[in-house]
Amino acid sequence: MTERVAFDLAAYEKRVKSGGCFVCGFLRGDPGLEHELLFEDDAHVAFLSRYPTLLGYALVVPRRHVTDVVRDLTTEEYLALQAVVHKVARAINEVVPTERTYILSLGSMQGNPHVHWHVAPLPPGVPYARQQYHALMAENGVLAPTPAEISRLGAAIRSAIS
């Protein structure tokens, strides 16, 4: 499950620029927007990325559709979201061998505007030149785990969160 396969970035960009909010679609249960759920509470959800570049790559989101992490969240909401990010990251680190955990907010008002935090566990031994942004870029390929592998990984992370 650690071998990368090519990723069609042009098709992905077209889809996210022309489609609706993938997070809101996932939360509504829209077909084709399913993700492996890791954690949920009244205000937040965490799930495995559908296009992981690293094993255990997850996203943590507020349930409420917000597009700006600074202007749209109160300090209390931001800190609560960060507590979930930390909880999920710690659980991932218990399950997946991790040298360093990358945590960052990405997205764009042009596509994927819903605030979402990426939690990306870098495995031990990755050469420096393939770490940091290189490790996160889908242009360098994505992992292609089977549905059974995704389910097992999700179950292990959920168990570590509990």
Residue with token string 């650690």: 2
Identify whether the C-beta of residue 22 lies closer than 8 Å to the C-beta of residue 158: no
Whole-prediction pTM value?
0.94
150: region left, alpha or beta (phi > 0 left; psi from -120 to 50 alpha): alpha
pLDDT of res. 109: 85
Total of domains in the chain:
1
Estimate to the nearest angstrom the gap between the alpha carbon of 29 and the chain centroid: 17
Q: What is the pLDDT of residue 16?
A: 86
Helix, strand, coil share of the chain (percent; to 5): 40, 25, 35
Report the CATH number that the domain containing residue 78 is assigned in CATH. 3.30.428.10
Q: Which has the closest alpha carbon to 84: 161, 3, 1, 12?
A: 161
12 lies in which domain range? Answer: 4-161
The amino acid present at 106, given as its one-letter code, is: L
Which residue, among 150, 135, 28, has the nearest Cα to 95 in the 3D structure? Answer: 150
As a whole number of angstroms, the distance between CA 161 and CA 107 comes to 26
pLDDT of res. 19:
82
Q: Which residues have C-beta within 8 Å of that of residue 43, sequence separation ≥ 6?
A: 62, 63, 64, 77, 80, 81
Q: What is the pLDDT of residue 1?
A: 64
* Dihedral of the alpha carbons of 89, 91, 95, 96, in degrees to the nearest 10: 0
pLDDT for 112: 86
Q: Which residues of the chain have pLDDT under 70?
A: 1-2
Q: Which of 18, 110, 103, 34 is nearest to 67 (CA)?
A: 110
